[in-house]
Amino acid sequence: MRILVIEDDEALADVLARGLRQNGMAVDLADDGEAGVEKAEITPYDVVVLDRGLPGISGDDVCSALIAMETTPRIIMLTAAGNVDARIEGLSLGADDYLPKPFVMAELIARIRALARRPNSATPPQLSAGDLLIDTGKHTASRAGTPLALTKKEFGVLETIVAAQGRVVSSEALLERVWDEEADPFTNAVRITVMTLRRKLGEPPLVETVIGVGYRLMTDS
């Protein structure tokens, strides 16, 4: 899951990024509204965590800009104003959820995952391929009823490949989707992660390498 955090408080943004990454999410940061909109125009984020009280372009205007995009991400708006009127106003702008500061990280994570499970989200709440079952909300996977002990990156790679339904997913796309903008574009992390993932998935194989192109789900498995 690819997340964009638009927050001008550097310390809070760092805490959010670390907490979300520890829970298997790829996180990009923007410290003002203009930078946030520019990143969202380039990258199709699943969820945007948006501070309403941004300097320059306000959070309200950023929310409107995000909603106007061809691919609209889910939006969780953060604000220091926790009264009901402020929440109603934030939701009326088109935000999907509204979280007053201060908040508990576990609640933000739960809300992000709840948004990702909504029917019109980019990734369905459950994915399957043969005897493989992936629960994107619970972040679990099993094959033939046996739970798979996957790392966060292995789960992200598997989720992305299965969601592509047989279409080839390039290493670059996996790096962008499962890691984030901090990742080294020349790293061999994707290849190594796919290798360990295949070992854990067992036989018959589910992930095929398309030489020079990327990886795809073996739909005949």
Would you call the peptide bond into 205 cis, given omega within 30 degrees of 0 as the criterion?
no
Predicted confidence at residue 221, as pLDDT, reads: 46
Task: Report how far residue 91's alpha carbon sits from residue 83's, in angstroms, rounded to the nearest whole number.
Answer: 13
Q: Are 57 and 33 in contact (CB under 8 A)?
A: yes
Return the exposure string of 194-221: e unless at least 16 CB atoms fall within 10 Å of the residue's CB, then b: beebbeebeeeebbbeeeeebbbbeeee
φ, ψ of residue 31 to 5 degrees: the values are: -100, 5
Per DSSP, the residues of 109-171 read HHHHHHHHTSTTSSS-SEEEETTEEEETTTTEEEETTEEP---HHHHHHHHHHHHTTT--B-H
Structure tokens at 130: 């043969």
Which amino acid does the sequence have at 218?
A: M
Question: For the chain, where are the alpha helices, taking DSSP H only?
Answer: 10-22, 33-42, 59-67, 84-92, 105-116, 152-163, 171-178, 189-201
Closest listed residue to residue 162, CA positions, set 94, 107, 20, 150 = 150
Residue 52 buriedness (CB in 10 A; 0-12 / 13-18 / 19+): buried
Predicted confidence at residue 88, as pLDDT, reads: 65
pLDDT tens digits in sequence order for the chain, 221 residues long: 889 999 999 999 999 999 999 888 889 999 999 999 999 998 889 899 999 889 888 898 999 899 888 778 899 999 876 556 666 665 667 788 888 888 899 999 999 988 876 655 555 567 888 899 998 777 889 999 999 999 988 998 999 999 888 889 988 888 877 887 666 666 788 889 999 999 999 989 999 999 888 999 986 64
Q: Name all domains of the chain by residue range, CATH numbers in brackets.
A: 2-116 (3.40.50.2300), 126-217 (1.10.10.10)
Structure tokens at 108: 């933000």
Task: Report how far residue 118's alpha carbon sits from residue 113's, in angstroms, rounded to the nearest whole number.
Answer: 9
Closest listed residue to residue 148, CA positions, set 168, 159, 1 = 159
User: Which three-class secondary structure state does DSSP give residue 100?
Assistant: strand
Which amino acid does the sequence have at 41?
A: E
